[in-house]
Each structure stands twice: as C-alpha cells, then as structure tokens.
Amino acid sequence: MTPFDKFHEECGIFGVFNHPEASNLAYLGLYALQHRGQESAGIVSSDGHMLHTHKDMGLVADIFTEDVLRSLPGSSAIGHVRYSTAGASKIENSQPFVVSGGLGNIAIAHNGNLTNAMEIRRELESYGSIFQSTMDTEVIVHLMAISREKTRLYRLIDALTRVQGAYSLLLVTEDALIAVRDPYGFRPLALGRVDSGMVVASESCAFDLIDATFEREIEPGEIVYIDQEGVTSYKPFAPVKKSPCVFEYIYFARPDSRIFGRNVYEIRKELGRQLARENPREADIVIPVPDSGMPAAIGYAQEAGIPLELGLIRNHYVGRTFIEPKQTIRHFGVKIKLNSVREILRGKRVVVIDDSIVRATTGRKIIKMIRSGGAKEIHFFISSPPTRYPCFYGIDTPTKSELIANSHSLEEIKKYITCDTLGYLSMEGLRHVVGGEENPYCYACFDGRYPVNFPIKIPEPQMPLFYNL
C-alpha cells in the first residue's frame, strides 16, 4: 500500500544546452526537483548526432549511477521527474518521451495536463495514428508529425495551437533545446545560465545546486529556442488571462525557489501571518505539521507572538511502501512518517498549522496523535482556503467527492478531524498575500473557476487521461 492517503505531486523538468557535463547537470537538476515527482525519472542527452535515453521507475539518485550518466554523452540534455496515479505508473509512461522518424529525433518532457488530449487522440487514431503510451503529452508529437509546416519549431507551434490546458515543456533535438510555457502560465519554468551554457528548470532551486544564475522566468505563451546561434524568444499564441497555479505557492514548490516572481518561503510565511490575523487564538505553543506547514507556522507564531515548537517530528527516510504488522497499531500509517513529542505537548493549548486539507485523513490522524501526546486544546489552522475542486491542470487530486471540503461544512470537518477549533485562510486573505488583482492566479481548486474549459465531459480523475480507452 502507499503510505499517504492524499493527493500527490506532479512533475518537474530540467534542460541544459551547450555544457560539457550536460547529463550530469540534468541529474543534479532533477535531484533538486525530486519533490515534484518520485515515481519515475529520465534523462535524454544529445551528442549533436543522436539522442541517448535512460529512464526508470524510482528516485533520481537510485536510477542514475556514474555508469548510466556516462552512457548519456553530449552537450545538451533534458530530464523529467514524474508522479502518476496508480495504474499508469509504468515505464512506458515515464518521460522524456522520445520519437524518431519523419520529425527526426526529438525528446519531450512535460509538466502539466492537456485538457483536450483525449479528444485529439481519438481523432488522430481514427486517421491511423498509433500511440505508444497513455500519456497526454504524446498527442503533441503526433500533431507535430502530421503538421504541414516546414520546420520543427513551426510544427511545434502548429501542434500547440491545437492543444489546451497546462504545459511547461522542454524538447531536445540533435541541435536545439526548446522551452515552452502555455499561454496561461499554469506551471512555472525559469531560464538560467551556467558557464557557457543555458539551463531551464521548473524551479529556481535546481539552478542553485549547479551554481547557475537565474536569468528570468519563461513568460506565459513564450517559446524559447536555444541553439548555437543563441537564444530566441517567440510569442506565437493569442494572449489570454494569465493563471499561474496558486497551489504551487501553497504546497508544491520548494520554499527556496523563486517562482511567478516571488520567493515561495516568503509567501508561505506571509500566508501564516495572514492566517493569524484572521484566526487569533490564545495558546501556549504553535506547532507546524512538518515539513509543508513549517513556513506558515513560523509566520503565524511571529504574528501572534506565541512560541513556535516542534511538537511533531518527521522521519525523512520513509519509502513509498511499508509492511504493516498483523496486529493493529493506533495511527500506524501516519506514525511511520510523523511522531509527537509528548514533553512539548503535555498540558498545552496548541495551535497546529498545515498548508491544506485534502481528504482530511492524515489531518485526523495527526490531531489524534497530538491529543494522545497530552495536548489540552488543539486549534487547527490551515494556510489556504478549503480545497473543494479537483485540479485538471497537472496536479493529481482526488475526485470532487473525495475532497472533504466539497461535501462537508466547516463544523462537520472539525468534528471529523476531532480538533477543538478549525480555521482556514480566507480567499481574500490568500489573494491579498499573493498579489491581489494585478497578479491573477488560477484558484480553481478553491473556487471552481477553471480558466480553460473542457471540450468533453470533465475527465475524472484527470490522469491517466487514456485509462479507459
């Protein structure tokens, strides 16, 4: 069984052009992006004549040995880390996705989710296209293959005008690296420089590890084409209202990253401060649910003037699976990952801070654990509004009915979790912290307002898109 009953991370991508240690840098870049996907990882390098690929299930550090990296020669490379839902978790669906044929050799890595991929796939199959995987990303290369445009770049643009939804993409060919961010800018993507080479990554934390300098973010709707001639920017798509994913700030991205123009840690801490202003409470200590609740808990504690303590300790070496004992152990699943510090909790009025509630199954176990650790009162505050709607733009969420806030009132959730008080951040508070009206975001998981419509019935669950074909 999987240890955590909640929704999971999406994907991370990294690319490098013109560097003698391209595959090594890709490996390090993926290492820094591991939090965005732990199920499979892959690197494709280009030596100027052909592409070399290595993909496997598992963690970056386990997949890429020195021998494997030696088998990935060349001065450019792209890499991908992925999380997928059960069922589609197989090597055929790992990325980068490589094609050779009429298009030449191309590898593509995708972070996001295409909302009309199923429709396009059905159409292409009716004309005879044969798909190798169940990934939405594959439709892009099929569309490129049938495009009548002359160059790969224009074929790519042609293909992308047909797809809808969220895509931050990296493509590598024998002689170029291409980076794309969809017109809404759902997922982050940044451009950097290392020595004489260029690098592109989902998050800037990947640049820090390899001593690359952050140049700028790739803009929504921008295609950056990098080859020996230099770096060229194209903006071929009709402009739309930008909608970067606000949940990247709340939970996904690493706190040391800079995305959508701001540092993630600072935003999370400010969300915690705002949470304290909206939900003041007399208490002895503030404790974070580690690690995701940490920056918000610091913000809450500072704003409220209540000491911050580590009342829960996380085991950082938890794998994806574990064997349960035959005899029932209370809160076993969550204890694998977290344990309470009784000496800190005993007799205290405790404010507990987490970033979000999804199904509330983990939250309930954590609160019960804190209670049995001796806490006198437990006030549970969440640094985001209630998560009521599934994401169709690249975050693996449970279905609508499984999101507890979709079908339960605040009072009912509080009762289920068994805390004394439950409070969420308001939508206004969230908007205020992330930049208000001038900086629009996608808030669909909170307000159900989806920036991109669905051509066919809302796919549920979103991935794998072609599960039922």
Applying CB under 6 A, which residues contact ligand AMP?
Answer: 5-9, 251, 289, 292, 354-363, 395
Tokens standing for residue 384:
């985001």
Ramachandran area for residue 230 (φ above 0: left; ψ -120 to 50: alpha; else beta): left
Ramachandran area for residue 58 (φ above 0: left; ψ -120 to 50: alpha; else beta): left
In the complex, the smallest distance separating the C-beta of residue 396 from ligand AMP, rounded to whole angstroms, is 6
Contact 30, 36 (CB under 8 A): no
Largest CA distance in the chain: 73
Residue 69, H or E segment: helix 66-70
In the complex, the smallest distance separating the C-beta of residue 119 from ligand AMP, rounded to whole angstroms, is 26
In the complex, the smallest distance separating the C-beta of residue 296 from ligand AMP, rounded to whole angstroms, is 10
* d(C-alpha 199, C-alpha 459), whole Å: 34
Tokens standing for residue 169:
């993409």
Q: Which residue has the tokens 């595959």?
A: 23
Contact 67, 115 (CB under 8 A): no
Judged by beta carbon, residue 5 or residue 47, the one nearer ligand AMP is: 5
In the complex, the smallest distance separating the C-beta of residue 357 from ligand AMP, rounded to whole angstroms, is 4
* d(C-alpha 254, C-alpha 248), whole Å: 9
Give the residues across from 106 on adjacent strands. 99
In the complex, the smallest distance separating the C-beta of residue 192 from ligand AMP, rounded to whole angstroms, is 26
Contacts of 200 (CB under 8 A, 6+ apart): 13, 14, 15, 16, 170, 177, 179, 189, 190, 191, 192, 218, 224
How far is the CA of 194 from the CAs of 19, 197, 232, in angstroms?
Answer: 8, 5, 17
Sign of the dihedral defined by the CA atoms of residues 366, 370, 372, 377, in that order: negative
Tokens standing for residue 431:
């908007």
In the complex, the smallest distance separating the C-beta of residue 356 from ligand AMP, rounded to whole angstroms, is 4
Judged by beta carbon, residue 38 or residue 75, the one nearer ligand AMP is: 38
Judged by beta carbon, residue 208 or residue 396, the one nearer ligand AMP is: 396
Judged by beta carbon, residue 279 or residue 383, the one nearer ligand AMP is: 383
Tokens standing for residue 137:
């990303």
391 is catalytic: no
In the complex, the smallest distance separating the C-beta of residue 387 from ligand AMP, rounded to whole angstroms, is 8
Give the residues across from 340 on adjacent strands. 312
Judged by beta carbon, residue 161 or residue 407, the one nearer ligand AMP is: 407
Judged by beta carbon, residue 173 or residue 362, the one nearer ligand AMP is: 362
Judged by beta carbon, residue 16 or residue 352, the one nearer ligand AMP is: 352
Catalytic residue among 11, 419, 442, 445: 11
- Catalytic residue positions? 11
